[in-house]
Structure 1
Amino acid sequence: MKQEHSGSGDPAKSLELLWRRRPAPSRGPKPALTVDGIVAAALRIADADGLAAMSMRRVADELGVGAMTLYRYFPGKGELLDVMLDTVYGDLPRRVVPGDWRAALDEVARENRELYLRHPWLLQVAISRPPLGPNVMAKYEWELTAVEGIGLTDLEMDATVALVNGYVHGAVRTAVESRQVIQRSGMTDKEWWLAHVPHLDQIGDLKKFPLSSRVGTAVGSEFDAPYDAEHAFEYGLERLLDGVSALVANRTAPEG
């Protein structure tokens, strides 16, 4: 899976586009395109065929114009990718849920997971240098609100949000890969598991691997598959939040 990087374009031009402060082309006939329209076309391609399929020429074909026309709006793919990211982050509902910080942080994880599942190409973008657009900033503000005032330092708040987002990214990648292997093979996980079960005694003496045999059998019996992405996500998220709970309790525990 080819990796792209956000923040790879010209910073000044990306910021102009992200905040829609880039002036419209002044030369030639009245522009038939808009920044929003170009981004929408790019997102349709990325959602349907993946980020590798999204090129300036492909977007131009989608819009029925020549590739050079797009360069009147976007200097290159780097700036377009930044605006695409900021745009999809605007899809987050950013709900305020009843309950304490744990419920709020749980919601952060679930909304980010749903965003990845709607736009799997996001997994192909490294965002160590995030585009500083309005939706990226609003997303970060909302995520920090979940842990504001619970006893963490500013650095711990940032690290906690990063921890949750990093966990979701890894968990969703496995879920998306599971979906893709089903599509490509034409075989469900249950069908794959059932096809292998009758032959397990032929791969060696399972008595040499008693724990693997016992635990693997339990998982297979429960899920009819060697792995269940939904269960893994729920279990991992609960344990992650348990860890944050321990940190919060340590911060707020009375001395002595």
Structure 2
Amino acid sequence: MTVWDRPEPPARPVPLDRERIVAAAVALADEGGLEAVSLRKVAARLDAGPMRLYGYIATKEELFDLMLDEVYGEILPEEPARDWREALRGHAHRTRQASLRHQWLADLLGGRPTLGPNALAVTEAMLSALDGVADLDTVMRAVETVSAYLTGAIRREIASLRAEQATGLSERDWQRAHGPHVSRMLATGRFPALAKLVHDGTELDPETTFATGLEWVLDAVAAKLA
């Protein structure tokens, strides 16, 4: 029986329910990442005994499942997309924005399928937009391909943000600090392709990079669907 199928225990003097528990856990994760979340810490934030929480949530993994589904509620489209491409594009951008608000989301993307109501509704919206466009196996490959791209791209962007937060150095500050070393290495002539990229390449902001890569993936998906 999943956590969504299991009924909540009756109310007690200190008001408690899964909604309040999940909200507290999300707040802790937003502040300090998933490592900052435990049933004990969540209970302390709610001014409740830790054992109280076990009536609502059996394990920390269940808590993570509920937190993930809570954020999937932010990824749900407000209205049906006009076509499959708009549906997959919108899903990717909403997932990225949710990950920027909740950086710990990047650590949970790409794992086992999430069975919560919001996650199932997100999947339903994507599959509905692709219904009838191609055979079912092709549709699944399309969704998986876009999901693989956005998971990798989001994790890379969040890793960069975390490095910036940990060191206090922006991407440009980091480049300035390591510039002399890079210049010395390029001056050896051993890395001509890399030197061309460094000197002539265009530096794009993260949002443009994500959007450009996404459109390339969607172009490839469109070719397969055709």
Q: TM-score, normalised by structure 2?
A: 0.88
Question: Match for 1:216 among 195, 198, 201?
Answer: 198
> Residue by residue, what CA displacement relative to the aligned partner does 1:151-197 show, whole Å, maximum 9, x if unpaired?
x1112212211221221111011111111112222221112223343
Question: Match for 2:3 among 4, 14, 18?
Answer: 14
The equivalent of 1:25 in structure 2 is: 10
> Residue by residue, what CA displacement relative to the aligned partner does 1:51-101 show, whole Å, maximum 9, x if unpaired?
111000010111111111111222221222222221211112414476543
In structure 1, the gaps of 5 or more residues are: 1-11, 250-256
- Tell me the amino acid that sits aligned with residue 211 of structure 1: A
Alpha-carbon distance in structure 1 between the residues aligned to 2:47 and 2:40: 10
Higher relative contact order (CA 8 A, sep 6+): 1
Alpha-carbon distance in structure 2 between the residues aligned to 1:203 and 1:108: 41
Q: CA deviation at 1:31?
A: 5.4
Question: Match for 2:46 among 63, 70, 84?
Answer: 63
The equivalent of 1:8 in structure 2 is: none
In structure 2, the gaps of 5 or more residues are: none
> Residue by residue, what CA displacement relative to the aligned partner does 1:200-249 show, whole Å, maximum 9, x if unpaired?
44336442322110112223xx33xxx75334312211110110111122
Alpha-carbon distance in structure 1 between the residues aligned to 2:49 and 2:211: 47
Q: 1:194 to 1:104 in 2, by over 3 A?
A: same
Alpha-carbon distance in structure 2 between the residues aligned to 1:14 and 1:94: 25
Alpha-carbon distance in structure 2 between the residues aligned to 1:139 and 1:119: 18
Figure out how many residues of one structure are paired with residues of the other and give that number.
Answer: 226
Q: 1:68 to 1:218 in 2, by over 3 A?
A: same
Give the alignment of 1:179-198 within 5 angstroms.
Answer: 179-198=161-180
The equivalent of 2:17 in structure 1 is: 34
Give the alignment of 1:78-227 within 5 angstroms.
Answer: 78-96=61-79, 99-125=82-108, 128-150=111-133, 152-203=134-185, 205-219=187-201, 222-223=202-203
Secondary structure in structure 2 of the residue aligned to 1:213:
helix
The equivalent of 1:241 in structure 2 is: 218
Q: 2:72–2:119: 8 Å Cα contact kept in structure 1?
A: yes
Q: Which moved more, 1:49-58 or 1:176-185?
A: 176-185
Question: Match for 1:52 among 7, 11, 35?
Answer: 35
- Tell me the amino acid that sits aligned with residue 9 of structure 2: A
Q: 1:187 to 1:154 in 2, by over 3 A?
A: same
Secondary structure in structure 1 of the residue aligned to 2:65:
helix
Q: 2:18–2:56: 8 Å Cα contact kept in structure 1?
A: yes
Alpha-carbon distance in structure 1 between the residues aligned to 2:15 and 2:149: 42
Identity %: 36
Q: 1:97–1:107: 8 Å Cα contact kept in structure 2?
A: no
Alpha-carbon distance in structure 2 between the residues aligned to 1:78 and 1:199: 44
Secondary structure in structure 1 of the residue aligned to 2:74:
coil
Q: 1:201 to 1:244 in 2, by over 3 A?
A: closer
Secondary structure in structure 1 of the residue aligned to 2:114:
coil
Q: 1:201 to 1:53 in 2, by over 3 A?
A: closer
Alpha-carbon distance in structure 2 between the residues aligned to 1:57 and 1:97: 40
